[in-house]
Structure 1
Amino acid sequence: MVALATNPLDLIEEIAREIANRSNRSYASHVRQIAKVLPEGVSDLYAWLASLDDAAIKELAQKLELIEGKPRPHFTAAVKQARTLALQRQTLAGMPPDFAEALRWAMERAGLGLKALAREVGVDRTTLRKWIRGKGIPSSLRAVERLEAALHLPPGSLAGRLPRFGRQRLEVRGDKTYRAFTRTFLRVASLVRYEVPWADLPPPAREALLREEEERWRRLSHRQIRVRQAQKQTFTLPFRDWPARAREEWNEYVVYASTRPGTGERARRALSGGPLSSRVLRAPTVERELAEMQKFYGYCVRVRGLDPDHLGLNLLTDLSLVRDYLGWRVDRYGDAVPGLTRTEILFIALVKKLHRRYLPVIGLQGDLEGLRELEKRLKAAGLDETEGYHAVEPLLETPDPLGWLAAGIALMLRDLSGRVGDLLAPKVPTSGAAQEALALYRDAVLFWTATAHPLRAKHWYAARLDMDQFREGDFAPGRGHVGRRGGTYYLAYRVEEFKNASSMVFRNLRADDLVEFPLGDPEHPLATLEVEGTRYALNEVFHVYLRGVLPRLAGSLGRPGPLLPLFPGLDSKAQLSGMFRSRSAYVAALPDAPLILPFGPHSLRHIVATSIVKATGSFEAAANVLLDSVEMVVRHYARFAPRDRYRHGWRLYVQTRGGGR
């Protein structure tokens, strides 16, 4: 039995001989010089070599030059080859989670350079260099499989680190967002669950987190299955491809349906005898209706073979055509999922509305009673009520969904305090980490505030601070959305800034009245959070953010006043959604957390409403917090109400009265 070498000097000789046999005999003598610069106390030579980066190797070369009194030009290249051998001895458990880092790691492990690997895989070196630097990813699974074969990796080793192949990008837009979520999850979960950094995590624990992250992307809702099936057979006919007559006809309907009262256009139509809609449609509603018509016309042309020149609203008066279209939509999903969804009902509702209000205006008559009967039959058939909150659905099924959010925010604040110290007297680094610390402070404040006050996304990315009003002490919101009264900050939005401004929710308010949301309400369950034994108040942290963090962020991002974005860098819908999806990893990283996906700001409304309905059984209480209708809450959240709402209601009444009769 041959004894394995364990002495570092013997191992250096072993590596030198292997390099001589593999590639370059002259490098062997340079490798042997490692013994002259080997630090004291190195017990695992291979681990030490594998840990060296290029800067450390350069330092070793400089140290050797001082010892020998002359440079060794090939010493650096020889040590890099020795590092490659050391990396090849590492197991796949040490493979980084990021695709670009994993690719570089695998190339070192296999001893393949850029040129050789590009030739093996069949791609040009420029493309491969982009993959290695994280500036691009392969566009085909076959290319990834060739990479794995060339690098002697098990199937899926690299594909599993790509959002397009190994994991589905559900509810995530863009590779950068996906990478940010995964990196944050792995980094934070290793700290909070195992109390060690990711780099020091034992292989079994590391594999457990990677398996959890892999499993996260395998969940598919019925909606996502339908989308995938629909993408295999696209049939939408874009508006630009409609014949001129159909486009003109639709544009005339848009003018009819969306011209606002009090405008010159509406006055001119009234004077000319043109039709006027009694109800004005919002732009998003018109866009949704156009999307439905593009699909209907696409079916008529691409599936039924209708001549495009025959497209027009008159087709909606053909009840058999409408019925065939809906039947085709349902049948194309097969038996994989229930085919009938709310989308089909919404299409029928659109057709019915046009029959009732607009088609008679332009001289078209349809079978309105037949449409009503068809709608009734479809509803009786039963819709697929698969919940639309797929990203956070596992969270909603827990007894206290809001508790998970609060714990995730506290974890984010804990991570922040590790960077800046006391959150009320932060010491922001002056190095390159400053911007990252400032951004995390901003994101933590926004995540906390948006959970305490679950408004819509627009209220956050469009929020402004009026610098003409902003001062020490109390101040009014002015043209912005932040004020202070009695030392307590509050957010303020005009009624007209709410999506449902014309609904019964705001019936007693004028369009320019302010709706306020205090940040220092002592009765609010999220007014304070505990972070490692210290209790922080949202109002106080928000004060530090406004006075210290916001000015630095605004300056670095070039956001001048006088109407300053309240959250610079998140003042667009895409930026805001990206932040929430990446930072939601803090919730996912909690011990025993449900297997959630990255979620956006609107999911906070689902979580808060579900928690209120579960705790109180009151749909009205949830509607009050969401500033929405009771009907909407019942439609979306009734399934979370206590089963015995009758007894639950009496218990709440007794609790409200203090427990007495």
Structure 2
Amino acid sequence: MAEAGDCPLARPPASPAPIRGSGRAEPDPTATYTAPTAIILLPFLLNKEGEMVQEVVDIPTYSEVAKGIQERFSAGTASVYISHLRSFMRDMGVGDDDPAAALMELTEAQLHQWATGRPDNARSAIRRAQEVAKELHRVRLLRASLPPDLPGRLRFLMQQKGIGVERLARASGIARDNIRRILTGSTPSDPSVLRRLEEALGAPGLLWEVARPTAGQRLGALPKRVLALATHLVKGLSEHQRNRFYRILRSLLAARGLSFSSPDEVLEEAIKEAMEMARREPPPDPYSLSATAGDWPEPLRSEWEVYRRFSTDLARGTVESAFMQELVFPKKPVREATLKRERETLDFFFGYVRARGVSPLTLRLVVTQPELVRDYLAWQEARKGRVTASEGAFLSFLLKILNPERGFLLQAPRLAPSLFPPEDGWQERVRQAREWLKGAARRLRIESDFNFGNAEPLTRLERPLEPLIQAEGRLRAALEELVGDLVQPRFDGLSPKYVGVALGMYHDLVAFGLLLRTALRAKHFYMAKTDNLRIVEGRVYLAYPKEFFKNSDSSFFKHVPQGEWIWRMALEEPGFPPIAHVVRTYLTEILPRLQQEGFLFPLFKGNGHLLDRRWRAFLERYLCPYPVRVPVIPGSAETEEVVVKPFGVHAVRHLTATQAVKATANSTMAAFLLMDTEETAFAHYARFIPAEMVARAAAAVFGGGAPIWRGDKA
């Protein structure tokens, strides 16, 4: 494998611009990281001239210290303290707007000398002022190193405080589930939630300042009274501006302690202000080079258009150019949603490269320089506080275009002559870059907090799916507490809020119950329509056309005609609680209440990210809080207790195949359950064949023992 430094595609990045001045806090994209886990807390910004600047955290001024005293003490006490502070400032010869450096650095001996001959409370007043100044400075230093998003900032503050969700819930009085929702990207509509968390963490204002633009919003139509009031005020707004207007109006009302029932004149003033704010375009993201906004230079846009035609059906069968005729197209057209996601990942990468000092005019789809890719991944991790799916999608795109058989870039070196000189050996350089990227993708999956590695402890069990089946049982029990019998659920007596909770729980019980019983891919659930489900003779089936399967061109589907539907039965064997009667009730009682629009599971809305979010919430509530006893070594009697971390939906397929191999000692059943080839199943899961079965096979082969492959279940 090629190392980062000697890969032929590697080129030294441009020298970073000088760092100076002040600005807002961001991790420094000019730094070169030596490890993907490096945490960089250098505040970074691009100023108006396009130069990179580093934030200098200012010492609070005396006027700010005086204001802090007024906020922390009663009016009488604050007045006395500020009076002594004025005397101190006069003796030091400083003004209100001067930094309070002398106050912060004041020693006990200097304070004693200054306070001699003054009233008794003078010394106490200056001490309190010094404490306020140091606290203001501490908060500023902390703010300079904080992530810019609410989940990352809350996670950072919890780590600084050394507390977890449980302790924070007890200290703040906020429910654990609400804290977990904030950590996964949700913004509470009640500002007091963030205030209470800030008090518990000792970080006043640090959460509210990043959540304020969206706090208080609830998606949906405005109340009719406010909508009628706004009709004559909101005119000429685009759809995007109108959506921004709704969010801003709710934020303004929440920030000012108002509601939609406030007097008309107050509402009208807020509506006008929200309208003006909505008309103003938001400041551009310095770390994004947006294709949709026209920021991509013409050569890059042209390359992307060729790639788009290459990836979709647009160029198939055309004779528009000899170049297109020479290409080997992907086996399946790429969906528009996938192309959009790929373009968005490139927006952020190109924005980062621009921040490194590279001219946008030199950017191409050839983004395989390992140094830049490595530094970008580490910078994103430092910025967000964790590895996310966006970085995985970025690497997946690079690996796809570098595929040695059908990759777009490998077939089209002429698109980037400056980085791909047309000389012998360029294919080998691309191959080496691809090998490096494969290693990076592997490491990224390992370091991610939402991957199959978190499910590995369950593979030591004889029945790896058992903890998930128990988690499903806990979800059933919680739902029965709300609605009683699952076949005839009762929603009367529940508040509207808990009716919505119960419907969501019923939705997830059916979706994840079928996921455990079929081991299908995530797409088969978030894209499922109502006609994909059948109930025949008491059995539940999920049916999809052959083309809907990712590996439809593999030998497993070789003899299945194109367009034929594949039926997959949901298992109702011992070990799985019955689900057919629950599915019937879901179709007749629950789905109509969810106002579905053709989707079998409408809360996923055809979006894999929403499926991942609800799956994670399911694990965090019903699996992760319950430690699992697993063998220290697979097959051993000695056990240990492990706390399972959340893992992805795709891990269910791995656990299903592992359980099949452990039960049968061969990969045939695993291949059938995964609907994949036996060679693939053997390559991935042969290592899970139980040791005792291997020992019996060895005894039969080498020790003359009785054969195990005749009359034995294995």
User: What residue identity is the alignment partner of 2:595?
Assistant: G
Query: How far apart, in 2, do the equivalents of 1:94 and 1:327 lie?
Result: 36
1:541 counterpart residue number: 582
Change (3 A) 1:312 1:143: same
Query: What's the offset of the Cα at 1:612?
Result: 3.0
Equivalent pair of 1:400/1:611 in contact (CA under 8 Å): yes
TM-score (norm 2): 0.48
Change (3 A) 1:356 1:616: same
Equivalent pair of 1:275/1:361 in contact (CA under 8 Å): no
2:361 counterpart residue number: 309
Equivalent pair of 1:416/1:440 in contact (CA under 8 Å): yes
Query: What's the offset of the Cα at 1:506?
Result: 1.9
Instruction: Map 1:608-623 onto structure 2 (within 5 A).
Output: 608-623=656-671
Q: Do residues 604 (structure 1) and 652 (structure 2) align?
A: yes
TM-score (norm 1): 0.51
User: What residue identity is the alignment partner of 2:467?
Assistant: W
Change (3 A) 1:371 1:451: same
Structure 2 unaligned runs (5+)? Answer: 1-165, 177-186, 212-216, 219-284, 630-641, 701-705
Which one of the candidate residues 296, 301, 313 is aligned to 1:247? Answer: 301
Change (3 A) 1:271 1:454: same
Structure 1 unaligned runs (5+)? Answer: 1-92, 104-126, 149-157, 166-174, 177-232, 466-479, 530-536
Equivalent pair of 1:393/1:596 in contact (CA under 8 Å): no
Change (3 A) 1:462 1:128: closer
Equivalent pair of 1:95/1:102 in contact (CA under 8 Å): no
Question: Which SS does the other structure have where 1:508 is aligned?
Answer: coil
2:616 counterpart residue number: 581
Q: Do residues 130 (structure 1) and 190 (structure 2) align?
A: yes
Query: How far apart, in 1, do the equivalents of 2:438 and 2:476 lie?
Result: 47
Equivalent pair of 1:550/1:568 in contact (CA under 8 Å): no
Change (3 A) 1:631 1:307: farther
Instruction: Map 1:328-339 onto structure 2 (within 5 A).
Output: none
Equivalent pair of 2:519/2:656 in contact (CA under 8 Å): yes
Instruction: Map 1:39-58 onto structure 2 (within 5 A).
Output: none
Which one of the candidate residues 443, 452, 472 is aligned to 2:517? Answer: 452
Which one of the candidate residues 446, 462, 466 is aligned to 1:386? Answer: 446
Query: How far apart, in 2, do the equivalents of 1:551 and 1:386 lie?
Result: 42
Query: What's the offset of the Cα at 1:446?
Result: 2.5
Equivalent pair of 1:453/1:517 in contact (CA under 8 Å): yes
Question: Which SS does the other structure have where 2:540 is aligned?
Answer: strand
Query: What's the offset of the Cα at 1:378?
Result: 8.2
Query: How far apart, in 1, do the equivalents of 2:399 and 2:316 lie?
Result: 28
Query: How far apart, in 2, do the equivalents of 1:298 and 1:94 lie?
Result: 39
Query: How far apart, in 2, do the equivalents of 1:345 and 1:439 lie?
Result: 32
Question: Which SS does the other structure have where 1:588 is aligned?
Answer: coil
Query: What's the offset of the Cα at 1:631?
Result: 6.2
Question: Which SS does the other structure have where 2:544 is aligned?
Answer: strand
2:150 counterpart residue number: none
Change (3 A) 1:391 1:660: closer
Which one of the candidate residues 324, 328, 332 is aligned to 1:275? Answer: 324
Query: How far apart, in 1, do the equivalents of 2:171 and 2:675 lie?
Result: 41
Query: How far apart, in 1, do the equivalents of 2:168 and 2:409 lie?
Result: 62
Query: What's the offset of the Cα at 1:344?
Result: 6.9
Per-residue deviation, residues 277-296 of structure 1 (Å, max 9, x unmatched): 32235237656765676577
User: What residue identity is the alignment partner of 2:202?
Assistant: E
Question: Which SS does the other structure have where 2:566 is aligned?
Answer: strand
Query: What's the offset of the Cα at 1:306?
Result: 3.3
Percent sequence identity over aligned pairs? 25
1:400 counterpart residue number: 463
Query: What's the offset of the Cα at 1:451?
Result: 0.4
Question: Which SS does the other structure have where 1:392 is aligned?
Answer: helix
Which one of the candidate residues 459, 464, 473 is aligned to 2:529? Answer: 464
Equivalent pair of 1:100/1:131 in contact (CA under 8 Å): no
Equivalent pair of 1:617/1:649 in contact (CA under 8 Å): no
> Pairwise CA RMSD of aligned residues?
5.3
Which one of the candidate residues 577, 600, 605 is aligned to 1:566? Answer: 600
Equivalent pair of 1:617/1:648 in contact (CA under 8 Å): no
Change (3 A) 1:337 1:446: closer
Query: What's the offset of the Cα at 1:270?
Result: 0.9
1:481 counterpart residue number: 532
Change (3 A) 1:628 1:98: farther
Question: Which SS does the other structure have where 2:300 is aligned?
Answer: helix
Change (3 A) 1:502 1:300: same
Query: How far apart, in 2, do the equivalents of 1:626 and 1:129 lie?
Result: 42
Query: How far apart, in 2, do the equivalents of 1:651 and 1:515 lie?
Result: 42
Per-residue deviation, residues 344-376 of structure 1 (Å, max 9, x unmatched): 797477346455412258887252233335656
User: What residue identity is the alignment partner of 2:541?
Assistant: Y
Query: How far apart, in 1, do the equivalents of 2:341 and 2:399 lie?
Result: 13
Query: What's the offset of the Cα at 1:404?
Result: 0.7
Query: What's the offset of the Cα at 1:592?
Result: 4.4
1:85 counterpart residue number: none
Equivalent pair of 1:409/1:586 in contact (CA under 8 Å): yes
Query: How far apart, in 1, do the equivalents of 2:544 and 2:312 lie?
Result: 25
User: What residue identity is the alignment partner of 2:582?
Assistant: V
Per-residue deviation, residues 222-245 of structure 1 (Å, max 9, x unmatched): xxxxxxxxxxx9976444532122
Per-residue deviation, residues 513-532 of structure 1 (Å, max 9, x unmatched): 1111224x56x455x43xxx
Which one of the candidate residues 625, 631, 634 is aligned to 2:673? Answer: 625
Q: Which moved more, 1:599-608 or 1:93-102?
A: 93-102
Per-residue deviation, residues 511-558 of structure 1 (Å, max 9, x unmatched): 321111224x56x455x43xxxxxxx2233333x2xxx4333334333
Instruction: Map 1:116-515 onto structure 2 (within 5 A).
Output: 130-132=190-192, 134=193, 137=194, 144-146=201-203, 237-239=289-291, 240-255=294-309, 257-260=310-313, 266-267=316-317, 269-271=318-320, 273=322, 275-276=324-325, 277-280=327-330, 281-283=333-335, 286=339, 290=343, 297=350, 301-303=354-356, 305-312=357-364, 322=369, 324-325=371-372, 347=398, 350-351=401-402, 353-354=407-408, 356-360=410-414, 365=422, 367-373=426-432, 384=443, 386=446, 388-432=451-495, 433-465=498-530, 480-515=531-566
Query: How far apart, in 1, do the equivalents of 2:599 and 2:399 lie?
Result: 42
User: What residue identity is the alignment partner of 2:363?
Assistant: L
User: What residue identity is the alignment partner of 2:579?
Assistant: L
Equivalent pair of 1:481/1:491 in contact (CA under 8 Å): yes
Query: What's the offset of the Cα at 1:453?
Result: 0.8
Query: What's the offset of the Cα at 1:419?
Result: 3.9
Equivalent pair of 1:342/1:383 in contact (CA under 8 Å): no
Equivalent pair of 1:236/1:298 in contact (CA under 8 Å): yes
User: What residue identity is the alignment partner of 2:580?
Assistant: N
Query: What's the offset of the Cα at 1:586?
Result: 1.7
Equivalent pair of 1:495/1:513 in contact (CA under 8 Å): yes
Query: How far apart, in 2, do the equivalents of 1:306 and 1:374 lie?
Result: 20
User: What residue identity is the alignment partner of 1:659?
Assistant: D
User: What residue identity is the alignment partner of 1:279?
Assistant: F
Change (3 A) 1:645 1:657: closer
Query: How far apart, in 1, do the equivalents of 2:551 and 2:684 lie?
Result: 17
Query: How far apart, in 2, do the equivalents of 1:400 and 1:128 lie?
Result: 39
Change (3 A) 1:292 1:139: farther
Query: How far apart, in 1, do the equivalents of 2:549 and 2:464 lie?
Result: 26
Query: How far apart, in 2, do the equivalents of 1:644 and 1:490 lie?
Result: 36
Query: How far apart, in 2, do the equivalents of 1:291 and 1:350 lie?
Result: 16
Equivalent pair of 1:588/1:596 in contact (CA under 8 Å): yes
Query: How far apart, in 2, do the equivalents of 1:436 and 1:348 lie?
Result: 41
Query: How far apart, in 2, do the equivalents of 1:483 and 1:621 lie?
Result: 24
Per-residue deviation, residues 119-143 of structure 1 (Å, max 9, x unmatched): xxxxxxxx999333x4xx3699699
